[in-house]
Structure 1
Amino acid sequence: MWTLALACAFFLSIHVLISGSRLKEQLVDAIGAGIYKLLFALLSLGGFFWMVTAFFGARSDPFNHHFWEAPFILKTIAFVFNFVGLMLLIVGALSPSPTNLKGARHWPDEPVSGIIRISRHPVLAGIALLSATHLVCNGNLAAWVFFGTLLALSLLGANSIDRKREAAFGDAYASVMRRTSIVPFLAIFQGRVAFEPAELGVLRVMVATSAFTVLVVLHELLFLRPAL
């Protein structure tokens, strides 16, 4: 469990203390943007791999206390939310986004469209949703530490991006924030933007659905637990 805690602390620290602070600017000035991105990517991949291996190792640790077993109805509800979360993650990763620096060139003329109507940070929202459902349905300490770290990082990351983009682009990004939400579907429910499923892209939705199906079928083989 200590290894998992250290791995999660390392992964969270490099994103919050480096990427989410002025230290990033200082490092970019010192070593250049290209080298910084390469080093940060390597640290992130290494940190995540450490987290995953530590998580699987901690599942059999005597300190990995089991607090409860999720009922089947809760697992069924989580199954649906997992589909939504993976859809957000994959469709978001395959879609252009007004929240990245490249999209800044089109503000404020380009209307909010596609997956951004659902969440302006679809990838992070998808990770947060997947993490939350797995945290609730896995009543053991190792799962709470692992998925809790991913959930916290997703929420902190979304807010950090908003602050940086608003500081850099002012009213242009503020207009995007007014028409969208971080929480999936909130802006749609509030009437700030319309839901247009056709804008998601048939191919993107098919890729996400296929990935979800494969993960469900292979879940027990890959993660040593059935999907339901």
Structure 2
Amino acid sequence: MQQTWLTLSHFVMLGLLFGFAIVHSGGAALRPWAEKLIGCRLYRILFALSSLPLAVILIIYFFNHRYDGLQLWNVQDLPGVQQFVWALSAISFLFLYPATFNLLEIAAVQKPQVHLYETGIIRITRHPQMVGQIIWCIAHTLWLGTSFTLVTSIGLVLHHLFGVWHGERRLIHRYGEAFVQVKQRTSIIPFGAVLDGRQSILWQEFFRPAYLGVVIFVFLLWWSHPFLLQATGKINI
């Protein structure tokens, strides 16, 4: 029987994810060498110029093909599901964007550096972006319920799991014993180090402008979501 639901878009998305993973993780791996060769700021600019366009293409392609393939389930009409999905999505962004706290470094206005954090959300999980991505994938896969979304989510989660392994290798190489001690005091699994007594949540660490910025961003995203879908739908990819 012909599998008509297994559309080409499934494989295109996997290819786009694989390409992004090579550029993003490969660029991160080259950082120590590249910074010595061309400097921190130029490396950051080149890294952004190579990664961001691919990320934009991924987002647009996902928006345009999110209902491709087999409809595995449909829970959108069930009471409370939409609110639950939005709540999960909001929580995911609180984990996804702690890296944006140093905006001047990201824009290469200040000298970009690798930081060894152990406060705020790092007390909850040592890899908040991975946790945020998993929460985002759960929310959107639940809401959309298509095979295309499931394939996309699996690809994203695998990339972030690889990023955990790859990132820790780079940190141990850069910081040595200092990072080993951070690993001992923190956990990858959310709240793991809190539950076994290695960490305590200090809520005052979350009262900073960056978290307020994330909250504002979530509300703006909620408001603009329909317009984003309309805009991306006009791009034929």
Alignment TM-score, normalising by the size of structure 1: 0.74
SS in 2 for 1:68: coil
Q: 2:17 aligns with which of 8, 19, 44?
A: 8
Aligned-partner residue type, residue 9 of structure 1: F
- How many percent identity over aligned positions? 22
Report Cα offsets for 1:66-108 as digits up to 9, x if no partner: 2111354555444333222111233453169xxx95435xxxx
2:97 is equivalent to residue 90 of structure 1: yes
> Do the aligned residues in 1 keep the contact of 2:124 with 2:191 (CA within 8 Å)?
yes
Q: Cα distance 1:53–1:202, how it changes in 2: closer, same or farther (>3 A)?
A: closer
Q: Cα distance 1:189–1:82, how it changes in 2: closer, same or farther (>3 A)?
A: farther
Q: Give the C-alpha shift of residue 208 in structure 1.
A: 2.1
Q: What are the ranges of 5 or more consecutive residues in structure 1 without an aligned counterpart?
A: 105-110
> Do the aligned residues in 1 keep the contact of 2:94 with 2:132 (CA within 8 Å)?
yes
Q: 1:159 aligns with which of 165, 169, 176?
A: 165
Q: Cα distance 1:76–1:29, how it changes in 2: closer, same or farther (>3 A)?
A: closer
2:203 is equivalent to residue 197 of structure 1: yes
2:229 is equivalent to residue 223 of structure 1: yes
Q: Which residue of 1 aligns with 2:58?
A: 51
After TM superposition, list the pairs within 5 Å mapping 1:38-77 onto structure 2.
38-59=45-66, 64-70=69-75, 71-77=78-84
Q: CA RMSD in A?
A: 3.2
Q: What are the ranges of 5 or more consecutive residues in structure 2 without an aligned counterpart?
A: 1-8, 104-111, 231-237
Alignment TM-score, normalising by the size of structure 2: 0.72
**Separation in structure 2 between the aligned mates of residue 46 and residue 153 of structure 1, nearest angstrom:** 18
Q: Give the C-alpha shift of residue 174 in structure 1.
A: 0.8
> Do the aligned residues in 2 keep the contact of 1:119 with 1:181 (CA within 8 Å)?
yes
Choose 167-176 or 26-35, whichever is displaced more: 26-35
Equivalent residue pairs, number: 210
> Do the aligned residues in 1 keep the contact of 2:95 with 2:121 (CA within 8 Å)?
yes
**Separation in structure 2 between the aligned mates of residue 161 and residue 135 of structure 1, nearest angstrom:** 26
Aligned-partner residue type, residue 90 of structure 1: Y
Q: 1:150 aligns with which of 146, 156, 174?
A: 156
Q: Give the C-alpha shift of residue 186 in structure 1.
A: 2.1
2:134 is equivalent to residue 128 of structure 1: yes
